[in-house]
Chain A
Amino acid sequence: MPSVATEPAKVPAPAPDLSVTVGKMRLSNPVLTASGTCGYADEYADFTDLSRLGAFVTKAISKTPRKGNESPRVIETRAGMLNSIGLANIGLERFLKEKIPRLERMGVPVIVNIPGWTVRDYADVAERLDQAAPIVQGLELNVSCPNVQDGLSFGTDPRRLADLVATVRRRVRRCTLIVKLSPNVADITLTARAAVEAGADGLSLVNTFSAMVVDVETARPMLANGVGGLSGPAIKPIAVYLVHRVYSQVAAKHRVPLIGMGGIQCARDALEFILAGATAVAVGTALFIDPAIPGGIIDGLTQYLIRKGKNTVREIVGTLTMPETGRAGEPVAPP
């Protein structure tokens, strides 16, 4: 251990500024939770101090309560897991009555994730939250659920997505409107552009990847629902790539902030997303293992910025240098 006395006296550098802006939200740092991995916040109260978060993202809140899918709902995979919870939640009114007071006491900006099966589902919940709960500063539209009217997902059809975002946009006055993009599309820039042009203040990406695990003994899928969404470190490199692609093709041009997520477990993971173009990052599945991970990431980001001589985290967003052989955001051909 180096002796402090023999070191030349140093003027302590001011701590780097971790604050970021996402739409109208000013966040003290860029580390968020990912929807569905942190409940309504009270579950983790004994294990970690969530008030350090930049913002807290709730579980999906639907207009009416939902029981969710049959068990088993979760299956572990190599470096990740599959889930098919079925958006189980207590419903909008109970959320407002029971959970909002607690979230207000936490003192962290809250982003509410909203699922829907019709355009009206989304718009009604968004409007109610916009008017009824000042602590809710952001609304994140979960567009990966199928539309009950035609069975197609809002998140995979750019035109349908644009309609949805434009409608919700008209009903929301105060909150920052974020669209959580599905990665289960051929070209994510099409849905990203549609959302941004229809009025989204920010994009979060990526949601889980549709996936399946098969029990070879019974020749049936392991999940009761058959298919589920893959999350965890297994998806991180794909998520980083998609963030960079959306950043370079859509977000940078429109000056729309991105919230990057997918397998983030430590500061290095978070930095990959930030350098690739994410203004903020969200920790998801890793919270199941250690709810204290966001705090560690905040500390790690600070140390990294000091070591790199940066004053703010904002100045490194999207500063990744791509090899000259590839255009920004385009895949580089293998040698």
Chain B
Amino acid sequence: MLHHYQNGCWTDNKPAVPPRGGPDGRGPIPPQPLATPGGSVDRYPAPRHGVGRRQNEPAAVLRGCFRGIVVTNQPLCREHYRLTLHVAAFPPSDPGQFIQILCPLAPGAADPPNAVDDGALQAKQWRLGSRPPRFTDPFLTADRPYLRRPYSIAGRRDTSTAAKAAGPRAELDIMYRVIGRATVQLEKLTPGDEVSLLGPLGHGFIRSDHLRRALLIGGGVGVPPILYLAERLASWGIAAVAFIGVQRADLLPLTLIADHPPATDHPIERPCLMEFARHGISSILTTDDGSLGIPGRVTTALRTYLLAHRQFDASSGVPELFCCGPTAMMRAVSQVAAEFSLPCQAALEQPMACGMGTCQSCVMKYRPPGALDWVYKLTCTDGPVFHTADIIWS
């Protein structure tokens, strides 16, 4: 079943023409310069046909509204899924950036399209004289999502330019845990279904000139941007170790490699998780209940690891920390980073309505370096990635 989002409304009619797009009807409308042209100059150079952007070259900011076609919607573990979407001409993206997905609605429960047609559409509407709605009718009881939902990009594959005729296409991965009214809708998606998405939104992780070694810390639903970052770091040849913390063994959305079980005692990195091992990155796994890997918090393992590697760090360069996960975890990581005087970036999560910087709901308290007073920053457009030293944790 296909659901199409057209001109602000859901319909089950396949659109004759793409809702909007570039000259080929595929991409976003041609972008106009943003308020701050260039944005941050030290983002990860985006992969543009293998040619990276130089350090101080302003990033071509490109975002838009796209149609994503579901390729797969695969269960990963209990409650967790990976959704892969095919998006034509999706702009370059960075690890840490996110997309806003409009979770599909049941057809018929949708608003009528802008074409105020008196024919077919009215037939669908509940009319006077027909049976009055009952409280059990799905359109009254369905607690369906109204706003879009933000999801970090968990991975991306671009088709080679060989298939030029079809235009550039990207496959985007997101990962979600079924916890609310929006993710319940996502769970129902099957290959071929269509979703509307905005992106790529926000600013991703920043690459400093000094980066030689990265420690990636992902907790629970914070794993996706860490995965995307691992992929990017590997392409840059930067060594990394992944620290993954989940509540229980059955909530691990990653694949264990049978030959290399994760360390269960001391935080010793092993190629135990497929998604990281394929990029040559070893992992340390913790579970809150001790059902897999090291029992306890991921931040405890991180701290033990850093204590043990102090000597090593002196010779091979200061490791930089990159984390995403529950707020309590990121706050603990930022404390560890401060204790060891290590640079640390966190991809924050805040409830947000628009993701484009207008609703002003996803505020976080930010203290600029050297400043006395804090200001509110928007997680969606100023972030979601911030240096943890600048974050005031509430």
Using a CB–CB distance below 8 Å, which chain A residues touch chain B?
36-39, 42-49, 59, 67-68, 70-81, 83, 85, 88, 98, 102, 232-233, 265-269, 271, 285-293, 295-297, 299-300, 303-304, 307
Contact = CB atoms under 8 A, between A and B. Distances in A.
Contacts of A43: 35, 356-358, 381
Contacts of A37: 358-359
A68 B365 CA distance: 12
Interface string B364-392: 10000000000110000100000000000
B213 interface: no
Contacts of A285: 353
Contact of B143 (A70, A78, A286): A78
Contacts of A42: 34-35
Contact of A68 (B114, B146, B358, B363): B363
B351 A74 contact: yes
A-B CB proximity, top 4 nearest: A300-B114, A296-B7, A74-B361, A293-B8
B185 to A, nearest CB: 13
B65 interface: yes
A85 B360 contact: yes
Interface in B39-84: 61-65
A112 B112 CA distance: 31
A47 B381 contact: no
Nearest to A269: B111
A22 to B, nearest CB: 23
B33 A73 contact: no
A174 to B, nearest CB: 27
Given A43-B357, A307-B116, 11 more contacts: A46-B63, A47-B65, A67-B376, A70-B394, A71-B363, A74-B359, A79-B146, A83-B353, A83-B361, A287-B358, A292-B8
7 contacts: A46-B28, A74-B359, A76-B145, A81-B353, A83-B353, A266-B9, A300-B113
Given A72-B361, A296-B8, A288 B64 contact: no
A71 B65 CA distance: 27
A293 B29 CA distance: 14
A237 to B, nearest CB: 14
B111 A265 contact: yes
Nearest to B381: A43
Given A42-B35, A265-B9, A73 B363 contact: yes
Contacts of A49: 29
A88 B357 CA distance: 12
Contacts of A296: 7-9, 114
Interface residues of B, number: 52
A42 to B, nearest CB: 4
Chain A at the B interface: SS class? mixed
Contacts of A44: 356, 358
A292 B20 contact: yes
Contacts of B113: 266, 300
B304 interface: no
Given A72-B361, A300-B116, A303-B115, A47 B198 contact: yes
B146 A232 contact: yes
B147 A289 contact: yes
A287 B363 CA distance: 19
B143 A46 contact: no
B32 interface: yes
B350 interface: yes
Contacts of B361: 71-74, 83, 85
Contacts of A85: 359-361
A74 B353 contact: yes
B354 interface: yes
Contacts of A83: 353, 359, 361
Contacts of A102: 35
A45 B146 contact: no
Contact of A47 (B63, B116, B146): B63
B102 interface: yes
Contacts of B353: 74, 76, 81, 83, 285, 288
Given A43-B381, A46-B34, A79-B146, A267 B114 contact: yes
B31 interface: yes
A155 B148 CA distance: 32
Nearest to B354: A288
A88 B145 CA distance: 26
Contacts of B354: 287-289
A304 B357 CA distance: 33
Interface string B172-215: 00000000000000000000000010100000000000000000
Nearest to B91: A46
A209 B5 CA distance: 28
A98 B113 CA distance: 37
Contact of B62 (A46, A76, A289): A46
A120 B322 CA distance: 49
A38 B196 CA distance: 20
Interface in B319-363: 350-354, 356-363
Max chain B C-beta neighbours (<10 A), residue from A36, A46, A290: A46
B363 A297 contact: no
Contacts of B20: 292
Q: Which of B31, B112, B352 has the most CB of A within 10 A?
A: B112
A72 B114 CA distance: 33
Contacts of B362: 71
Given A37-B358, A44-B358, A292-B65, A88 B147 contact: no
Interface in B269-284: none
A293 B113 CA distance: 10
